[in-house]
Structure 1
Amino acid sequence: MHDIRLIRETPAAFDAALARRGLAPLSSEILALDEDRRAKILAAETAQADQNRASKEVGAAKARGDEAEFDRLRALVAEKKAEIARLTAEAAEEDDRLRRMLLEIPNLPLGEVPDGKDEEDNVEIRRWGSPRTFDFQPLEHFDIPAVKPGMDFETAAKLSGSRFVVLKGAVIRVHRALAQFMLDTHIAEHGLTETWTPVLVKEEAMYGTNQLPKFAEDSYQTTNGWWLIPTSEVTLTNTVAGDIVDEAKLPIRMTAHTQCFRSEAGSAGKDTTGMLRQHQFEKVEMVTICTPDTALAEHERMTRCAEAILEKLGIPYRTIVLCTGDMGFGAQKTHDLEAWLPGQNKYREISSVSTCGTFQARRMNARFRPASGGKPEHLATLNGSGLAVGRCLIAVLENGQQADGSVDLPAALHPYLGGKTRIAADGTLV
């Protein structure tokens, strides 16, 4: 959420930043509402002072037997009481309108973020690995003979409908190995703290990480008001909601492996084949809580953590910085990692790493106490996939496929598979 004081002080800069996201100016509307709200608060305070003064004078008028003055003052007290109630209610209503307005305005992009309208304007900043040259036509993951016995879309459709999959045998074992490998790497080599969190959260948690109110249709809600998390960014980030953290305890770096749920309401017709875009999937998420002045350095660090997973698996990838028109709602700056998928002959997103500045912390009222003293300040938050397990499985299967229908598996996974090194063409792990 945005700092109303910053909008008051620099309205032109606020509107210019919104324009970079393709949005119309909003500062005038925001400030008019804010000014009216503050005027009503001031009027209520003035009326309260008048009421207090009249209340004191009522007794004196009564004591000296001035009935006319007594009646006048008593009527004034009643009048001011009604006026205070009206002004307070109107100010509260406008405060709620202002908060709802601010909740639906996206974060402002950092100056270094490239301008652009959509993904075509994103900028590649580095590339690792070379796509393998095949002496046969590479297949998409779901058509590879070794994969077919362990990836069942028909049974999933019978159970749940489209955009679900049943994994079994060697395929699910590789999927599980990938998640374990990611966690172990982040914990042992990257210094992240493993955390296990619920997948059902209260509404305020979804507001805190900006899934609500704007993106309600992209998530699932239970009949008793809980929300299924679209990513453990929601739970990990909200661990500091309402808290004041000592600066000495920062940064807080966490990782979690969870089930995630998305309705994909905004992705109708996209990636309908295979398991690239599912309603239920698993991710190993990374979240960092830090001071605002260290957020950009943490962003680079977190990006490297995600890149390291792909490098250890031998998956070619490229890192891009998203332009203003393609950046997520809560982000100030985002790096996407795109893994090479030979079956599609293109790079596809496998991780998105974003710094949000104080945007989410304001929504959560999450602050830190500076080591130098002074008032508590809002924290900075960052989140990123490290990685999306299902998409990583796709990359491993497609890049490791062989002409005989088998799949060679990355050496980094062999210890997690009991020394097995590939999936044979008949779907067995060997």
Structure 2
Amino acid sequence: MVALVVAFVGLLALTDGVGSGLAAWSTTVAVGAALAMWRGRRRCWPARLVPFVPVIVAAALTATVCVPTVPTARQRPPALPFVETQHWSLTTGSRVAVYHYPPAGRGPRHPVPFVYLNGGPVRGISVLDHRFLRLLARRGHDVYAYEPAGAGRSDLLPMDQYTISRSVRDLAAFVDRLDRGRADVLGFSAGGVVLTRALADPGVAARLHRAVIADPGPMDGPTADMAGPKGRKSARGLAPAMTGPRSTHVPRYAVAFGLMRLGLLTPDTGLLGQAEGDNAFTAADLGSDTASAYCARDAHRIPAEDTARTFSFSPAASLRVQQTIRDSPSIARRLGQSRIPAMLMIAECSSQVRRWATEILAHDPAVQRTQYMPGVGHHMWNGLDGNNERAAAVVTAFLQDKPAPLPNRPTRDEIPAFLRDHT
């Protein structure tokens, strides 16, 4: 029986799960049945059925991998109660969900539009992030945020169109659609990668006024291959396990997502469609990845970033975008020609490789300041203590070209010492 299950998994990989895995399943069952007949050929009639028992059990077990248990058509999260969801069609062909927080409060209004790029790379904007965006609006920013194509309430793309280059083009198209001139852009995590690559593209950079890159992922293939120190200890391994349903407790999705992460199934696998995978994946499936975005001291007070109904993440599309980053050549030379004023934000307990951030600092001459954010992990505006207010003050001061609330460190000259000491 075990051999048949292993053979089934192997055939899934060989066939890329074609036909919802039925091709691999039918082949496995046919081979198993043929072997059972061969083994029972010299037995009396009742005994001839014994070799078929493990085949039947294996067939039943593996059949669960071929049967969907969630809707296979796209199920978007419900509308948010505190902000209108608009849908904009971009010139790239993407149709994205857009959220607008006009400037509020009694302070001065900032005339330059503010655009937020969230992490993921193909994930809906969390409720936690929306709270931070509302705080920025109360500080006078005219805040726009859009969910990447394939994430949240945005429309899906064909799988082969999920690339980092498409994400950069979507940013340019979004600023054009705003029709407000140049925009200030805050890119967080994977959004910081999109923003960094936009700075390295003169045609896209011409649409940007100022750039804030917050705890970015790797900007290109050579950077993705870099190892090295990370931030101070995170809550990974210390925080209680996430509660709630997990798709990986269902054989179909445990096998599909597991084989995709191992590279044995392509993101465009025939085992399950993009929409089904998005519908199945839950916040609990992120496991310790969520805890890794918080400092160890916060392990037992990690806030809920989303609700079960509003959470949205596309595992296949995210893997596809990440692969295009790993496959891309160095952008360091082009980034060295950037002239758009930029700021880098680095979290004390970041789970990101430190060199992913310092490579930007080393190669982008227009990075004017770096803010080392104390007491926070990768998710810097997490609603704990005064972290949101501190992050908003750092962002606002830079966009207004005012003195930084925190020391400017590390500088380019301090990169070697920073990599040695701040881990």
TM-score (norm 2): 0.25
More strand by share: 1
* Structure whose CA Rg is larger: 1
